[in-house]
Amino acid sequence: MNFIHASDFHLGYAQYGLEERFRDFARAFQSVIKYAIDHKVEFILISGDLFHKRNINAPTYEQAYKVLFELKENSPSTRVYAIEGNHDLAYHQDGKSWLEILNSQGLLKLIKLKEANGVSLMGDFIELEDVRIFGVRYLGSNTTSTIPKIAEEIRKIRQINGEKYTILMMHFGMEGQTRYETAGEIPFNSLLPLKDVVNYLALGHYHMKYETDGWVFNPGSVEMVSMNEYGLSKGFYHVNNKGPELISPITRHVKRIKLDISSIQTPQELYSNIAVRIERETPILSGRSPLIELLLYGEMNFPKSDISIERIKEMLNGHFKPLFSEVKIIKTNSQYVLTEGDVRGQTREEIELRIFSDRIKLDGRYRENLSQIVNAMVEVKKMAAAGIEDSAIQKELRWCFEKIRTETLNDH
């Protein structure tokens, strides 16, 4: 077995309105294809969002065509199998997506929902010597309810055609993986019907790498689609008999610089502090100019209107010579705000547990019952997010605190 699992290339995205960023996303796609050629992979999976927009322009299509044609010319036995992500789906009036056009030109194989061979959804699949590949386009809010049907049909196909190593491509975000809760996330428990019939669930949608339970894999985007992804592990998977390995190609360098402004009293003092902070940064030695973000956070002691953003940008440009620079000011005096360094590499669940734990520790009344209180807070949050009635949530809280009170009385 020797294949690549990638997703979320977002071809056509001119980030910050820059033509050079438009080209960066094509370079990222080409780097994966070149890796595939060099390593003689059998096939490439694209788990959605090859394109950034449903209705792409001619230069974007040309980028996709050239890169896929390069693969066809240099490694004709390597196949590309793709599904439609939310950015790829055709508008109703168009009838066909651009992935369908690439499919018709023989540059990739688009796996679609199809009724065939006694099944209503999973009739379009790839049968290789040792591997069977299924794919499901982005389903949005219908994902959770459709998963049991997908599992049932894959099981039926396995019974008819025999068992093989089974790959399923899907495009959705899994609950608890991002720092912020997002609508439409799928709980891991909802995936369990697939576990008995799928060896490798190849996901796309979220732009960072995560793995769950040894069979669910999301590689993230190769390029940085948003500054919110700064510091996150991402790339594509190279899967062989040793298992999946995340490969992170070299892309344009991105740097986020943070400065606490809470103790700064004047704009001039701010400029001086920024200059010192910038000078501490090692120059970026790269053939491509970097992307720079300066994040000023804390309680501001003077009007924001007194700050010259242009002056700060000139300082950044003088030191880094960036392709693009941005200055963001986040005013807050909350002790519960976590900086990028605090949460890097942590899932949202881990961040929530940390915040809940820190909050309980500040209240001396409940320190001895820290784990019970935190577990109750997590459970109540999940109940609220699921739309459970207030009365049931209140009952859960009363039960928790009654249990704590009883245990405390027994201890004394």
Q: What is the pLDDT of residue 117?
A: 84
* Mean pLDDT per 10-residue section of the chain, whose length is 412 residues: 97 96 98 98 98 95 97 96 95 85 97 93 96 96 95 96 97 85 84 97 96 97 93 96 95 94 95 95 85 93 93 95 94 52 60 70 65 74 64 72 67 58
CA dist 250 and 38 (Å) reads 16
* Cβ(11)–Cβ(28) below 8 Å: no
pLDDT at 361: 63
What's the CA gap between 289 and 222, in Å, rounded?
18
Please give the backbone phi and psi of residue 310, each rounded to the nearest 5 degrees, phi first: -65, -40
Q: What is the pLDDT of residue 349?
A: 65
In whole angstroms, how large is the CA radius of gyration of the chain?
A: 25
Contacts of 189 (CB under 8 A, 6+ apart): none
For 109, list phi and psi in degrees, rounded to 5: -110, 115
pLDDT the model gives residue 336? 47
Q: What is the pLDDT of residue 371?
A: 74
Instruction: List, in sequence order, every residue forming a beta bridge with 171; answer none if it has no partner.
Output: 204
At residue 179, the pLDDT reads 66
CA–CA gap between residue 281 and residue 292 (Å, rounded): 12
In this prediction, residue 334 carries a pLDDT of 45
d(CA 46, CA 9): 9
Domains of the chain and any CATH numbers: 2-247 (3.60.21.10), 254-339 (no CATH), 347-411 (no CATH)
d(CA 96, CA 86): 14
Give residues with Cβ within 8 angstroms of 318, minimum separation 6. Answer: none
48 vs 362: CA distance, rounded Å: 45
For the purposes of burial, counting CB atoms within 10 Å of the CB of 212, is it exposed (0-12), middle (13-18) or buried (19 or more)? middle
* Nearby residues of 26 by Cβ (< 8 Å), 6 or more positions away: 11, 63, 67
**Cα separation values, 385 from 185, 313, 371, Å:** 11, 41, 21
Answer for the pair 111, 126: CB distance below 8 angstroms, yes or no: yes
